[in-house]
């Protein structure tokens, strides 16, 4: 009846913190370039961008705000690519065309596009495992995985009850 995809992403802004939660308002495939055909690189371009279901977003935000454990929860755009984003140069390239994006992952936009094609409501939720533009992240990846996984499991239990 619907899809909720939970995973990890890398933060794109210095103000971001490991374990921040981003609930995708929309996701775009940032490394697809259709500009030679007259299309733009932006969240407005339907061929490379997709919107999450508003009801799912609201339910997800309600639950995540209760589970946040002091971590921040945002409803915001994110970008997807087949690259692991780890350099300042990569972040600058992304933010030039997608300045509203808070994080980058490797599958959100693809999942959303398939859901859109089949008329399936969806939302994408990402916990920040790292922030590319920070020299030192606050947790090791192993510490992050333990905390994020526990929160994600509890989120799923509550989301299923609510929907």
List the chain pLDDT tens, one digit each, 163 residues: 999 999 999 999 999 999 999 999 999 999 998 999 999 999 999 999 999 999 999 999 999 998 877 789 999 999 999 999 989 999 999 999 999 999 999 999 999 999 999 999 999 999 999 998 887 766 888 888 888 898 889 898 888 888 8
Contact 35, 42 (CB under 8 A): no
CB 12 within 8 A of CB 95: yes
In 12-156, where do the E strands start and end? 21-29, 49-51, 73-80, 103-105, 122-131
Helix (H, G, I), strand (E, B) or coil at 163: coil
Model confidence, pTM: 0.92
Give the pLDDT confidence score for residue 132 in this predicted structure.
84
The strand pair at 21-29 and 49-51 is best described as antiparallel
DSSP string, 71-107: --EEEEEEEE-SS---SHHHHHHHHHH-TT--EEESS
């Amino acid at each position: 009846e619907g899809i909720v995809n939970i995973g990890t992403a890398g933060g794109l802004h210095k103000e971001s913190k490991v374990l921040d939660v981003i609930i995708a308002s929309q996701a775009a495939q940032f490394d697809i370039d259709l500009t030679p055909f007259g299309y733009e690189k932006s969240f407005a371009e339907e061929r490379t961008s997709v919107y999450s279901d508003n009801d799912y977003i609201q339910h997800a935000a309600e639950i995540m705000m209760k589970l946040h454990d002091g971590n921040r929860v945002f409803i915001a755009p994110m970008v997807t690519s087949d690259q692991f984003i780890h350099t300042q140069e990569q972040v600058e390239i992304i933010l030039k065309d997608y300045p509203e994006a808070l994080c980058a992952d490797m599958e959100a936009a693809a999942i959303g596009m398939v859901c859109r094609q089949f008329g399936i409501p969806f939302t994408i939720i990402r916990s920040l495992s790292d922030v590319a533009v920070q020299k030192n992240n606050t947790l090791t990846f192993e510490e992050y995985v333990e905390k994020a996984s526990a929160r994600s499991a509890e989120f799923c239990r509550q989301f299923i009850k609510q929907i």
